[in-house]
Amino acid sequence: MNKIYDNDFFNGEQKKRFLKDMTENTYMVHSRVLKRASRLEKNLNKDLYDFNLDEIEELLNYLSPKTVQASLTNGSVINAYIGWAIQQDLRTINLNPLDIVGETDFYKSFVDKTNKLIFSEEEVKKIVFSLESRQDAVIIQALFEGIMGRNNSELLNLKLVDIDADSHKVLLRNIDKDNTEQTRFLKISDPLLRLMQEASRETEYKSIMGTGGRAKKLVPSPYVIKGAGKASADDGKTGTFAIRQRIKNIGIMEGYDYLSAINIRNSGMLKMARDLYEETNKLKREEIEAICRHFNVGIAKDGHIASTPYTREFLNLETLFDVYPEIE
């Protein structure tokens, strides 16, 4: 068969046939893996559908997934493509090498562990302590304790009047994908309560990346996290982009390339797992569901909790003992 290089695909004609009936999102996921596979296909001068298990493992390593779920997705794409090729009578050996491997354990081995995604409680404390601006510090601590919401809406909508200092409970407002408001109460720690109070009193914001010694005026507003300068909304509320940029800047300064709202939240989930494990000496379905409810993740409209992605990624004893070795 003549090899055709088309739009960074190796043997593009067959890749197009495989992809042609997929939805846009599915196409994007599959084409990304297949385009990246082209480099190895060119080196070996053969199509991915003819790879043996050693060559597939080489590709899975090359893709350098950052999470177990990403590695599983890569494997699913490769598996689907080889399965399709067998149906089309394209593969030389009419067997799929991935049929003989285990699922999660096999794909875990390809996760890139060189970049830090989960942070211990002590590491988060050091980050918070290093931040001069309480406006920055409160973001990190709030995420770590479970305040996030879709597009950071729980953070963005947080007002000082929503905080009951006596009970240490805060009213949170999440804006879901249908643009409807969902509310819940969450108990917070003493350090976070103080940070919220201090952040709400700040009147200036100086970026940790430096602005030539100049600080921006924070727009007076009822929100704990306020907008700075012209970038804020009319009511003084800041936006989700500003939250992301502040976290990115903090990560750069602290040397954590993958510091993000999700990774900070996930770190808080693992810290709660540690606390529960110290109480019960187990980390099973009951504990996982309690963590998901506290952090408001994986909960379907019927109340069912889909926790599998979290247990695969980090809510497991392997990660717990890795981040908190003292409790093993």
**How does pLDDT run across 79-122, given as a tens digit for each residue?**
999 999 999 999 999 999 999 887 778 998 898 877 789 999 99
Section 314-321 average pLDDT: 92
- How confident is the model at residue 45, as a pLDDT? 94
* pLDDT class of 193 with cuts at 50, 70, 90: very high
The yes-or-no verdict on residue 7 having pLDDT over 60 is no
The reported pLDDT for the residue numbered 208 is 75
**DSSP alpha helix (H) spans, 146-205:** 153-156, 190-201
Q: With 0-12 CB in 10 A as exposed, 13-18 as middle and 19+ as buried, what is 129?
A: exposed
Angle subtended at Cα 271 by Cα 263 and Cα 276, rounded to the nearest 5 degrees: 140
210 vs 298, more confident = 298
Of 49 and 212, more confident: 49
- Show contacts of 126-134: CB within 8 Å, 24+ apart: 127/250, 127/254, 127/256, 128/191, 128/195, 130/253, 130/254, 131/208, 131/250, 132/206, 132/208, 133/202, 133/205, 133/206, 133/208, 134/195, 134/198, 134/199, 134/201, 134/202
pLDDT at residue 212 above 80?
no
Mean pLDDT of 158-175: 95
Which amino acid is present at 35? K
The per-residue pLDDT for range 230-246, each reduced to its tens digit, is: 545 556 688 899 999 99
